[in-house]
Structure 1
Amino acid sequence: MSAEQSAAPPERLIDHLLELRSRLLKAVAGWLLVLLALLPFANKLYGWLAKPLLDKLPAGGQLIAIDVAAPFFTPLKLALVVAMVLSAPWALYQLWSFVAPGLYQREKRLARPLLVSAVLLFYIGCAFAYFLVLPTVFGFLAKTTPTGVAMMTDITHYLDFVLVIFLAFGLSFELPVALVVAVALGAVTPSQLREWRGYAVVVIFIIAAILTPPDILSQLLLALPMMALYELGIVAGGWVKAKNSPVADA
């Protein structure tokens, strides 16, 4: 439905559905192309993903495969996920091309930077988890392994654990975007966000305790960036408020 009209005739609705199907097919095609490019390097991708753990294991430490087919299917699963993440900007572009004609110019000016910011923040969150959080977490776990116990993690369980960490940090880093959207919709104001700062800190630490392993360093590695991102969301929300109102929120 466009912004200029509340209802569309059947022919126009069919045109919208055909265009939606075309955009979805293009998004899937982009994902498949990235996947095909990654498949020959699936094992190398997994080796790269396993490096934070392998670097913390004693000399000769390694991952193991419990299931017979795991050495084949686990790298393939990783390639599928990586292809999805890398092709996300293309899929979002197709979504944007579909919905943009129905948006007002003011909505377009707000939505474009939000979409770009959301993608970049997700990537930054994943990179932060890989280069800083995972080495810290695995270093802690390796040091707390009981004497006489060999830390030999199954490759499938390791992949699932790391993907959860990536997802947790990627989504957590979307906090500024969520706050800006809330301000743009009028659900909150920047001044309210500043007043709720103390409550936000408590909620952030609770989230960090739930999403990270039970060591204070890992929790801080998630909580501190989220606190900084909360402040960034307040600043960005104030900018949006000022752009959409003749009087800025005090």
Structure 2
Amino acid sequence: MAKEKKEMSFLDHLEELRWLLVRSSFAIVIVATVAFFFSDFIFETILFGPKDPSFVTYTFFCELSKAIGVESFCVTELPFVIQNTDVEGQVSLLVWTCITVGFILAFPYILWEFWKFISPALYENERKNAKTFIFISSLLFFIGVLFGYYVIVPMSINFFATFSVSTQIKNEFNIQSYIGLIKTSVIACGLFFELPIIIYFLTKLGLVTPKFLRDYRRYAIVIVLILAAIVTPPDVVSQIIVAIPLLLLYEVSIFISSVVVKNQLKNEQSSKRIQ
């Protein structure tokens, strides 16, 4: 069976990819349909949670700032309202929000489909690690989603809600813009937290080496700080809070790349001894 897959033509691979996308899309639709029945909880508790000054993140940073004796980060008011300006806005919002929830919750299955697609190109012992791959990749993705929701989103909402160029201007955010901020933040963070997995495969393909990652570490740090500055309010504390996990992910990626290279060298030496 494995041999047949290795001898598949380019068109056969495209056909496999097409069915991968079809099955993944079908899974997303199924989960999105289930999410529809929980739409009240999704909107009222999850999506509108960060607009409440008593949200867990605001409370945590308030207590933390008091404990360490720095200027209080307590949020007492978020002066903005959310409005819908399109006739079909709320219907469209409901559909796409359910689809987004479907993508997030169906992500482990999508990873499984991806693994089946690439597994013929891997060694036999690597193909046996499917469960480990799915578990670690899903865990990193969900940690990234939670990081985006509990860190990036509250910081962004707090900044934009309290920022004003004039007292004559009231913040009345469009619902599409508000939900779009949340969706972009959580999905982007979820995918970014997949960096160690991406580095693993790039190293396997010979496109990245540990030396390359170490040599360009300084540039990576600059890029991470720029990203942190873009997605957070313009204060040093917020940028550091976001930058630290991203830098840790980069260091983990270097370690994973080193392990992959060492294993490849061992496999090559073992093959030479057998020959």
Q: Same fold (TM over 0.5)?
A: yes
> CA offset at residue 233 of structure 1?
0.9
**1:197 partnered with 2:217:** yes
Q: Which residue of 2 aligns with 1:137?
A: 156
Residue 176 of structure 2 corresponds to 156
Question: Is the 2:6–2:120 contact (alpha carbons within 8 Å) kept by the matching residues of 1?
Answer: no
Pairs within 5 Å for 1:52-67: 52-55=50-53, 58=77, 62-67=81-86
Do 2:31 and 2:102's aligned partners in 1 also have CA atoms closer than 8 Å? Answer: yes
- Aligned counterpart, 2:48: 50
Distance 1:66 1:210 in 2: 27
| 8 A Cα contact 1:57 1:151, kept in partner | no
Aligned partners of 1:62 and 1:111: how far apart in 2? 46
Q: 1:149 to 1:129 in 2, by over 3 A?
A: same
Structure 2 stretches of 5 or more lacking a match? 54-74, 268-275
1:27 corresponds to 2:46: no
- Please tell me the residue identity of whatever aligns with 2:139: L
1:165-215 deviations in Å (ceiling 9; x for gaps)? 123212221222222223222233323322332222112223333444544
Give the Cα separation in 2 of the matches to 1:105 and 1:32: 33
Percentage identity across paired residues of the two chains: 29
The whole-number CA distance in structure 2 between the counterparts of 1:97 and 1:188 is 23
Work out the CA distance in 1 between the residues paired with 2:156 and 2:87. Answer: 28
User: Who is 1:223 aligned against?
Assistant: 243
CA-to-partner distance for each residue in 1:42-72, whole Å, 9 max, x for gaps? 2331222121124368388542111233233
* Pair 1:39-2:59 in alignment: no
Contact 2:145–2:190 under 8 Å retained in 1: yes
Query: 1:70, 1:44 → 2: CA distance?
Result: 19
Q: Aligned in 2, Cα 1:73/1:57: closer, same or farther, shift over 3 Å? A: farther
Amino acid paired to 1:144: F
User: Match of 2:62?
Assistant: none
Find the aligned partners of 1:102 and 1:181 in 2 and give their Cα distance.
Answer: 11
| Equivalent pair of 2:78/2:162 in contact (CA under 8 Å) | no
- 2:113 corresponding residue in structure 1: 94
Is there any run of 5+ residues in structure 1 with no aligned partner, and where?
A: none
1:245 aligns with 2:265: yes
Separation in structure 1 between the aligned mates of residue 172 and residue 125 of structure 2, nearest angstrom = 55
From the superposition, tell whether residues 92 and 117 of structure 1 become closer, same or farther in structure 2 (CA, over 3 Å): same
Q: Root-mean-square deviation (CA), in Å? A: 3.4
Contact 1:208–1:223 (8 Å) recurs in 2: yes
Q: Which amino acid aligns with 1:50?
A: F
Separation in structure 2 between the aligned mates of residue 8 and residue 73 of structure 1, nearest angstrom? 41
**What are the within-5 Å matches in structure 2 for residues 174-189 of structure 1?**
174-189=194-209
Cα deviation for residue 88 of structure 1 reads: 2.1
SS of residue in 2 equivalent to 1:245? helix
- Contact 2:115–2:130 (8 Å) recurs in 1: no
TM-score (structure 1 length as normaliser): 0.79
Give the match for residue 144 of structure 2: 125
Q: Write the distance in 2 (CA, Å) between the matches of 1:8 and 1:153.
A: 52
Q: TM-score scaled by structure 2?
A: 0.72
Give the deviation of 1:24 after TM superposition: 5.2
Counterparts of 1:83 and 1:228, CA distance in 2: 29
Aligned partners of 1:43 and 1:75 also within 8 Å: no
Evaluate the alpha carbon distance shift between residue 211 and residue 3 of structure 1 in structure 2; reply closer, same or farther with a 3 A threshold: farther
Residues 29, 140 of structure 1: alpha-carbon distance in 2 compared, 3 angstrom cutoff: closer
Q: Secondary structure at the match of 2:83?
A: coil
Secondary structure of residue in 2 paired with 1:237: helix
